[in-house]
Structure 1
C-alpha cells in the first residue's frame, strides 16, 4: 500500500442525515457483538470472542487498513515502524513470549556495537559521560516511592529538582542547560507526553517495566497478521467510520440493543453489545457527536483527565552508511545555540538520531509535543531538507540524497489524534483520576443491561502506551462481556422458570 502523507479528515457530524433513526433501525444488519476499532486491542477482543464461540460479530474499522497505531512501512528490502517500535520487556511480557513462539524476535544490538557520538548542534564533540546523568535520573525515577512526594504535581518536576544535584557544578551553564533540554525531550519521547510537566507523577509511577526492549524480525505488523488469522475476513469491515452510537434507546420491546450508524448515515448495524476500542484521542474529540444519549458526566470528566501525546518519527535511509562507520549510529545532540531560522525551530525537539534495528543505514529521530505538531504541518520535502541540514551540521559531513524518507503525522491522523501513549494530566489527577480502570467501566442502559464495553491502551493501569497493554485490555474486556452475557442469560432463565412456577400455582 502506498504511504499516504496527508490522511483524509473524518466525517463531520453535520454530514450525517438527522432524524432518520427509524430508517436506520429498520435497515440495520443484526449482530450479536460489534467491535469498534481495528487496532490490536479491538483485534484481540474479536479474536477472544471467536475463540469462545461468539461468532456472530462484526469489527468496524474507520481506516482503510487494520492495525491502528501499529504500522510497518516497507520500501524494497527496507522496513521501518511508523507506529509501535519495540516489544517492551522480555519473558515477563506476554507479547515477547508470543513473538518468541513465532520465532519473530531479533537479538538486541550489543551496547559496544554502536558508533556513539555526543555533539553540540554545531558539531563540536562533547563529554559523553554526562549522558549518565540522563540515564541515572531516568532509572532513579523508577525507584519505588521516589515519586510519591510529586503525586500532585508534574512528572517533570522530579527531574527539574534532581538535575542540579546529579549533574553537579555547571548545571546552570549553557552546556548544562543543553543537557537538561536533552533530558526533557528524552523523557517526553519515552513517555509519549507533550510536556513532562503536564503528566501526573502518580500516573508515571503506575507504569510497570518488564525488562529490555526487543524488535520484531519482520516488522511489528507480524502481531497484526497473527491476530487477523483468527478472524474471518467477512467479520472485518474497513473504511467504515462509526458516526453515531445509539446505546440507550427505548425500543418498546425491552430488548435494549445498540444501534450503530456508519459512513455518514449510509449503513447501520444493531447489536446486543459493543466493544469500543478506539484511540482515546479520537474518543475525546468526538464523543459528544458519537454517543446518543451523551456519555455519563462522570465518564466525560475522566476522559477530560487524560491526554494522548504526540510523538512522531522521522526516518531517513541510504544504500549504505555515509558517516564514516559501518556500525549503527547513535548521535546525541546538545542544543547549546538556538539560532535556527523560525521555520526550522521544530528541530530543537530532536536530541537523538540513531540507526533502526536490522538497518544500520536507516536513521530514526523522535520529535514530540509542540515541535511534532509544527513538523506535521510542514511539507514533507521541507522536513527532509531540514533533517539533512541537521545531520550535515552535527556530523560535519555532506549528506547524500536518501533513498527512503518517511515521517509520521499521528497528531493529524483523524482516527487517532495522537500517537502511542496516553497520560493522566496533573489537572486530571487533581480531579480524582488515580486509576485508569475507571475508564474501562462498562455502560448499562436504562433496562439495566450492560451494552457498552471499552478497550485500548489508555485503560491499562500499569502498561499504558504499550501494545501488550492494549492486547491485554482487549482480551479482558471481551471476557468481561462474555461473563455478562452468561449472567444475564442465567437471570433470564431464572425469571422464565419463576413465571412457569407461579403459573402452575
Structure 2
C-alpha cells in the first residue's frame, strides 16, 4: 500500500516541483460522495462494464434468459471495443480484429456464413507476391519458406509444451538455424530472415521480443490449424450488430465511462457503480469486461475497496501487447497497373541504417492488400515500434511509409488518397490491443494460467458480486474475438446461476 500511495502522490508532486503533469483522465473529473451517489442510484440486477464483444455477448445472454433489468455501460461512443470497422466511401478497413482465426473450426465462421457475410480468401497465385530487402534488392524467397515452416512448427501444441518454463521465442531460435542451414536460402540473408520471423511472431503477440511470452501461456492456447484468412465481407462490426440486435436500445449506454465500483460498502451487499456522467447504479452483480490494459492502469481508482491483493497480483503479472495498423489507399494500384493484383510484399532488413526518427519502420515485415481491395495496403507495427509511431504526427508517419515503400519497391509511389493509423496504446480505455499475454516474469511469479483472472470476487457476505470477462480471461482462446465472446457468455451464465442460488 505504501507503493500505491507514492504512485498516487507522484503526479501532483511532479507538477508542484517541476511543472510536469499527467494528462487528465475523464474519470478524474467526477465529484461527490458515496452517500450522494447511492441516494440517487438506479436499481439494476446486473451492470455490464464495457461494450466490446464480451460485454455484448453477455448482455445478449441476459436478454435471452429472462434477466431484462440489466444495463451495459460503454465508455466510448461506439460498441465493439477492439472490433472497429472504418468506412470511407467504398473503402472498408478494420482498426482492430480482421480475420476469423482458425477457419471453419471457429464458431464465428459458421455465424458469418449463416448471416451471408463470409468471404473466401484469395489464393497465393492471385497476389503480386514479392520478397525484397529494405534497400530494394530482391530477397531469396526461400527464406520466407523457412520462416513459414518454423512458425507453423512452433505453433504446434506438441512443440510448445517443451517451452513451458522459458520464453516462447526460444522455440524459433532453436529451430530456425536447422531449417536455414539445410541450404534452403542464401547464407548472407540468414540474420535478416531470422529477424523477419521475429517480427512475424511479434505481429501475433504485440510484444517487444518473442522472449517476453511464457511458453506455458502459449501452450495453453488452442490452435485450430493454419488460418485461412476468412473475413466478414461487410466488416467485422457485422458481429457487433448481430449481438446488439438482441438487446433493447434502452439497455445500452455509450459514452458512459464507469469511474467507481463500490463492491463491498452497501449494508445489503449491493454494488454501487458510478459513471463519469454522474449517473449511479445499485446492482446485485457487476460484470467487468474492460480491457486488461485499462484494468492494469486504473484498478486502484476504479474499485473501492481495492481489489483483493491476490487479484491485484494477477493483474500485475499479465500484460496487454500493442499491435497497431497503418493503412494507405489509392485510386488505382500503382504496383501493378496491368493486372491490378493485390500486393503481398515481404521485407527483410540486412542493414539497420534508417534515420533514428524512422526506426519504427524496422517493425514492419510486410505490406498486404486488405479486404480483397486491390488499391489498399496495410502493415502491422507492434510493441515499442508501435508506441514510437503513435507519438508521431500523422503526416510524419505517412511520409515515412511512402519513402520506405519507394525505397523498397523502386517505384514512384504516389500520394495516397486515404491514410489511417491506429493508436491503441494511447486510448485510455484500451491501453493496448489485440493480445494479452503472460510474460515469463509473470509465470515465474505464479500466474501460470488465465483462470485466476476469470474467478469472481465475493463481498464480505460471501456473494460473488464482481465477475470478469474479456479475451484476457480465456485460457485457451485469448487474443481472439471468439474467445472474448465465449467468456462473456460463460460469465453471464455464472451470474444467472448465482441469481438462482441467492434470490
TM-score, normalised with respect to structure 2: 0.92
Kindly report which structure 2 residues correspond to 1:324-403, keeping only aligned pairs within 5 A, or say none. 324=336, 325-403=339-417
**1:174 CA displacement:** 5.3
Deviation of 1:152 (Å):
1.5
Aligned-pair distance for 1:250? 4.0
Query: Which position in structure 2 is the counterpart of 1:124?
Result: 137
Contact in 2 for aligned 1:90/1:97 (Cα 8 Å): no
User: Counterparts of 1:451 and 1:162 in 2: how far apart (Å)?
Assistant: 47
Aligned to 1:51: 64
1:263, 1:447 → 2: CA distance? 28
Which stretch shows the higher mean deviation, 8-17 or 394-403? 8-17
How far did residue 409 of structure 1 move?
Answer: 0.5
Q: Which residue among 291, 303, 311 is the counterpart of 1:279?
A: 291
Q: Please tell me whether residue 307 in structure 1 is matched to residue 309 in structure 2.
A: no
For 2:60 and 2:91, how far apart are their aligned partners in 1?
30
Q: Which moved more, 1:324-333 or 1:348-357?
A: 324-333
Aligned equivalents of 1:32, 1:105: Cα separation in 2:
36
Aligned residue in 2 for 1:500: none
Alignment of 1:456-467 (within 5 A): 456-467=470-481
Matched with 1:492 is none
Q: Which moved more, 1:322-331 or 1:402-411?
A: 322-331
Match in the other structure for 2:11:
none
Instruction: Note if 1:86 corresponds to 2:115.
Output: no
CA displacement, residues 47-101 of structure 1 (integer Å, 9 cap, x when unaligned): 1001001001111000111110001111100100010010112332111111111
What is the deviation of 1:149? 3.2
Partner of 2:239: 223
The aligned counterpart of 2:19 is none
SS at match of 1:274: strand
Please list the CA deviations of residues 101-149 of structure 1 after superposition, one character each: whole Å capped at 9, or x if unmatched: 1010011111211111001001100110111111111111123332233
Match of 2:198 in 1: 184
How far apart in 2 are the matches of 1:454 and 1:336? 46
Equivalents in 1 of 2:260, 2:156: separation in Å? 45
Matching residue within 201, 208, 212 for 1:194: 208
2:27–2:257 contact (8 Å) kept in structure 1: no
Secondary structure, aligned partner of 1:53: coil
Residue 292 (1) aligns with residue 308 (2)? no
Structure 2 residue matching 1:68: 3-state secondary structure: coil
Deviations 1:445-493 (A, max 9, x none): 001111111000001111111101100000000001000110112xxxx
Distance 1:144 1:63 in 2: 38
2:29 and 2:276 in contact (8 A); partners too: no
Deviates further, 318-327 or 407-416: 318-327
- Per-residue Cα deviation, 1:193-222 (whole angstroms, up to 9, x for no partner): 332111101111111122423100100010
| Aligned partner (choices 17, 20, 26) of residue 39 of structure 2 | 26
Tell me the CA shift for residue 169 of structure 1: 6.9
What's the secondary structure of 2:411's corresponding residue? coil
Give 5+ residue unaligned stretches, structure 1.
Answer: 1-7, 490-505
In the alignment, what sits opposite 2:9? none
Q: Distance in 1 between matches of 2:435 and 2:188?
A: 32
Over aligned residues, Cα RMSD in angstroms?
1.7
Q: TM-score, normalised by structure 1?
A: 0.92
Q: CA deviation at 1:316?
A: 0.3
Is the 8 Å Cα contact of residues 204 and 435 (structure 2) preserved in structure 1? no
8 A Cα contact 1:10 1:415, kept in partner: no
Alignment of 1:146-161 (within 5 A): 146-161=159-174
**Would the aligned equivalents of 1:282 and 1:414 in 2 still touch at CA under 8 Å?**
yes
Match among 218, 224, 248 for residue 264 of structure 2: 248
Q: How far apart in 2 are the matches of 1:172 and 1:284?
A: 45
Aligned residue in 1 for 2:5:
none
Separation in structure 2 between the aligned mates of residue 32 and residue 196 of structure 1, nearest angstrom: 43
Residues of 2 paired with 1:313 and 1:123: CA distance?
23
1:104 maps to 2:117 = yes
Distance in 2 between residues matched to 1:10 and 1:138, nearest whole Å = 42
Residue 431 (structure 1) shift: 1.6
Query: 1:395-450: CA deviations, max 9, x gaps?
Result: 11111111111000011111100111100110111122222121100011001111
Q: Distance in 1 between matches of 2:284 and 2:263?
A: 10
SS of match in other structure, 1:105: coil
Structure 2: segments with no counterpart, 5+ residues: 1-21
1:233 counterpart (249, 253, 256): 249
Q: 1:73 aligns with which of 75, 82, 86?
A: 86
Q: Does 1:133 align with 2:146?
A: yes
Asked if the contact 1:106–1:216 (Cα under 8 Å) also holds between the matched residues in 2, the reply is yes
Q: Secondary structure in 2 aligned to 1:323?
A: coil
What is the aligned partner in structure 2 of residue 503 from structure 1? none
